[in-house]
Structure 1
Amino acid sequence: MTNATSPTELWCDRCGEPADGGSHPDCQAARELEPPRFCPRCRRRMKVQVLPSGWSATCVEHGTARG
């Protein structure tokens, strides 16, 4: 998942609010260091695991993103 909004990304992956509801500058800044918390496609809260080598965030509906 990326910070750029694509047609399938309807929700901000950090705050869960509508992606088209503003530029979300605080969310973009936080995402430089933090994994996503919400699925950008369905707004579900994701299961996030942070490891020394990176992170994974899993949506039960849309699968896993890694970073």
Structure 2
Amino acid sequence: MTHRVSELTVPESAWFKSSYSSGEGGECVEVAAHAATVLVRDSKRPADARLAFEAEAWAGFLRMTTGS
């Protein structure tokens, strides 16, 4: 399934900051689920470009990065 990221809108309350965020202004990303898509954005520039991944691809990415 392909979506235009600009067409996918989610409320601000749906965004979650990375658990690796220190709160001291380091490099952070936020993610939000939208139907079968996961959106990713830069937490310091939330209005800028977002990436969209199919849920299955995002799950595969998490498995690779966490070793689970």
Verify same fold: TM over 0.5: no
Q: Kindly indicate which of the two structures has a greater share of residues assigned to strand.
A: 2
- Normalized against structure 2, the TM-score is what? 0.26
- Taking structure 1 as the reference length, the TM-score comes to 0.27
Ranked by relative contact order (alpha carbons within 8 Å, sequence separation 6 or more), the top structure is 1
